[in-house]
Chain A
Amino acid sequence: MDRYADMFSRLNEKNQGAFVPFVMVGDPDLAQSEAIICQLVESGADALELGIPYSDPIADGPTIQAASIRALSHKIKVADCMALISRVRDKYPEVPIGLLLYSNLVMAQGIGNFYKKAQDAGVDSILVADVPIREAAPFQQASQDTGVSQILIAPPNATDETMEKIGEYSTGYTYLLGRAGVTGAETAANVPASDLIERLNKHNAAPALLGFGISTPEQVKSAIDAGAAGAISGSATVNIIAANLDNSEKMLSELDSFVSSMKAATIKG
């Protein structure tokens, strides 16, 4: 089963792009996190990108760092995250679920073992933020062994050599960076990023989802108009959680309107 391919072909038929929100599993705690993730799907998320909290997230800005700290304050473990994901998987059998995390969390369990656990939980893809293509071989091996897609990142400064490798190895989708720097809604993505999308297409890379600095429906629309298969929004989603820690009802209703409006912007034409 290839949930990403199925999703992209479903969306193509409907003439839509994908909207993919990111949240940290366990933020602000496990119970609320599960409710949040289900809300994202109910409100129209086409796929989910889920973070596993880590102590030293070098690719993340203050918003996602704070989400990690909130989750880790409850001593959340990788096994807790996998169990939660497994329940979400049972509830939504068709929604692609991607993990976004850091290498040491994978290494600590053994690469093959980690991918196996992810596969068992119903995870479709893994993106390891601090593993560039040059270090990816053992991760790609685990990806091939389990069928969990290894997501590659196409940065704005990618050399042709990198683009070629992405063309050769990417599966699931390609994470297209909207700009340099770390995650965060403070600095907007340089959409539409058409040059990069063209280069990816030339190398037959997996469909591009644009992320980093995506926080408005206008950005989603222009990314998709430029040829991206969809957009990922992390910090803007997590900001809604952070702003409503003392009122979960309001948190869920604000997430609902945010996701609905971002999803609406994926409708082409």
Chain B
Amino acid sequence: MNQLDTKFGEFGGMYVPELLIPALDQLEKEFLDAKEDPSFNKEFLSLLKDYAGRPTPMTLTRNLVSNPKVKLYLKREDLLHGGAHKTNQVLGQALLTKRMGKKEVIAETGAGQHGVATALACALLGLKARIYMGAKDVERQAPNVFRMKLMGAEVIPVNAGSGTLKDAVNEAMRDWSANYDTAHYLLGTAAGPHPFPTIVREYHRMMGEETRAQIMEKEGRLPDAVVACVGGGSNAIGMFADFIDEPSVRLVGVEPAGKGVHTKDHGATIVTGTKGILHGAYTFIMQDNEGQIEESYSVSAGLDYPAVGPQHAYLHDIGRAEYVAATDEEALNAFKLLARKEGIIPALEPSHALAHALNMADEAEEETIIVVNLSGRGDKDLEHVIRVLGDDI
């Protein structure tokens, strides 16, 4: 039996082979025990502060927004060690791995950001990492593959299926089915079977908590809206968690509309998706009428995932959070604009959130404070952006 709720309304659950249930139960138990263990929390907090660089700053944009009624803040996860918010929860799960007495870590990665975060945490904590990555992504993301290897991780290209993130997740789960006694599956987003969506949220929730403290200090009140991009949804759920019980704060998740939600080339699962089961959870997924999973698409590899974390599905269902989509083109425009106006090069993922926040800012008629979770920096995307836009910008 589970000690925590395994579902968010009808979403989530543990749709995995019976074989994996004991490993998921063990993980839930260790997560709960660790929560009550001061030495675990002390080590986690110390790693976040002294190794990763928390708290991250919150920056008021100076030139980006023309509407004088609007203040747009950026939560600067791009400044975190590793270059993205991913490092937070990876450190937490790596500590859990050690706590369970396991010495190996299995992970999946799409763009390579979760792989890099896993590799750095494993290097630091003396764990052996093997990271599954779609063969196509290995080619597309060569610098991140090199980073992972440099930090001692083994990178395993996955040729099965479509050779992208979903296939890397499949392969990681297959590996875990055989090796759960010795290895922890360090899942990289707030999706997958229980307890992953809950653990990933809890190990990312400091983003929202810091935001609350920082905005109270600067503005003396809560923001009107918090905006974050949603692929699997880890940066968004970490940002939203502390505000869910504050009805005055609009929670806005921005999905990748790719070449347009009316085309087949997008990853906007909540905006367009149908309900189904992928990677252990009942949620919104991209599928055909038969239930075969369809490929997602986005200019941003980190949002290119055909499912979404089950808590987002639930927040959408009960109307607590709004989910919208931004196209490749809108994201690329926001990417360029932030660089030009503020001297910050964002990752393509949060560029989607920024694109929508800028629309909100244009339309605002009252005094409005918006916080965008700038979940990662854009260095990893430069080569890709040059390919898409050319170097004439």
Contacts and interface: CB of A to CB of B under 8 A. Distances in A.
Interface in A178-195: 180-182, 187
B178 A181 contact: yes
Contacts of A61: 174
B1 A161 contact: yes
B291 A105 contact: yes
Interface stretch (A4-12, A132-140, A222-230): A132-140
Nearest to B23: A157
Contact of A55 (B21, B180, B275, B293): B293
Interface string A29-68: 0000000000000000000000000111111111001000
B166 A107 contact: no
B38 interface: no
Contacts of A104: 276-278, 285, 287, 291, 293
B17 A56 contact: no
A107 B276 contact: yes
Contacts of B160: 62, 65
A134 B177 contact: no
Interface in B253-291: 275-280, 282, 285, 287, 289-291
Interface string B275-312: 11111101001010111110000000000000000000
A58 B276 contact: no
B22 A56 contact: no
Contacts of A130: 15-17, 277, 280
A135 B174 contact: no
Given A104-B276, A132-B14, A182 B178 contact: yes
A180 B291 contact: no
A159 B21 CA distance: 10
Given A104-B278, A107-B276, A180-B177, A153 B19 contact: yes
A180 B19 contact: yes
A134 B13 CA distance: 9
B277 A132 contact: no
Contacts of B16: 58, 130, 132
B18 A132 contact: yes
B170 interface: yes
Contact of A108 (B1, B20, B173, B276): B276
Contacts of B167: 56
Contacts of B6: 134
Query: Interface extent on A, as a size class?
Result: 35 or more
Contact of B277 (A72, A103, A153, A177): A103
A186 B164 CA distance: 25
B254 to A, nearest CB: 26
A60 B291 CA distance: 18
A61 B2 CA distance: 29
B278 A132 contact: no
A260 interface: no
A213 B278 CA distance: 26
Contact of B18 (A54, A78, A102, A158): A158
A61 B167 CA distance: 13
Contacts of A162: 18, 21
B161 interface: yes
A208 B124 CA distance: 46
14 contacts: A56-B278, A56-B293, A61-B174, A65-B161, A77-B290, A78-B291, A104-B287, A104-B293, A105-B290, A106-B291, A134-B14, A152-B18, A157-B22, A180-B178
Given A104-B287, A131-B15, A177-B18, 20 more contacts: A54-B292, A55-B161, A55-B293, A59-B17, A61-B174, A69-B161, A72-B292, A102-B277, A104-B277, A108-B276, A108-B287, A108-B289, A132-B16, A132-B17, A153-B17, A156-B19, A157-B22, A159-B22, A161-B1, A181-B174
Interface of A: 54-62, 65, 69, 72, 77-78, 102-109, 129-135, 152-159, 161-162, 177, 180-182, 187
Closest 8 CB pairs of A and B: A108-B291, A181-B178, A155-B19, A104-B291, A132-B18, A153-B18, A55-B292, A105-B291
